[in-house]
Amino acid sequence: MIAELKKSYHGVRCIRCRVPIPVSEKVASLQDGIESDESVSRTFVARCKLCDCENIYPITDIQTYKGEPRGRSSRARAAGSAA
């Protein structure tokens, strides 16, 4: 029997709509190096795929979320293609 894989991802909560924004493994790995390396950036920029809000987030806000990340909303996709 094949065991079910539990999917999870790293992300931060959007400041506007509170939906988790997935971050890359490279950004998530910076969280481990913060205490040991002073040259590591302590913030990063992320854009919410749901509401299209972009903001600066601290590395310390990264959490692990269960499931799969949400996709882009049709409203945000339509606004992006009109520009």
Task: Give residue limits of the domains in the chain.
Answer: 8-69
> How many angstroms separate the most distant Cα atoms in the chain?
50
How far apart are alpha carbons 64 and 10 in whole angstroms? 5
Q: Is the dihedral of CA 14, 70, 45, 9 positive or negative?
A: positive
How would residue 1 be classed by pLDDT, with cut points 50, 70 and 90? very low
At residue 64, the pLDDT reads: 95
Q: Beta partners for 46?
A: 55
At residue 2, the pLDDT reads: 47
How would residue 82 be classed by pLDDT, with cut points 50, 70 and 90? low
Neighbours of 66 (CB within 10 A): 9
The model's pLDDT over 18-60, given as tens digits with 9 standing for 90+, comes to 999 999 999 988 887 666 666 667 899 999 999 999 999 999 9
Q: Can you read off the two tokens belonging to residue 24?
A: 């890359």
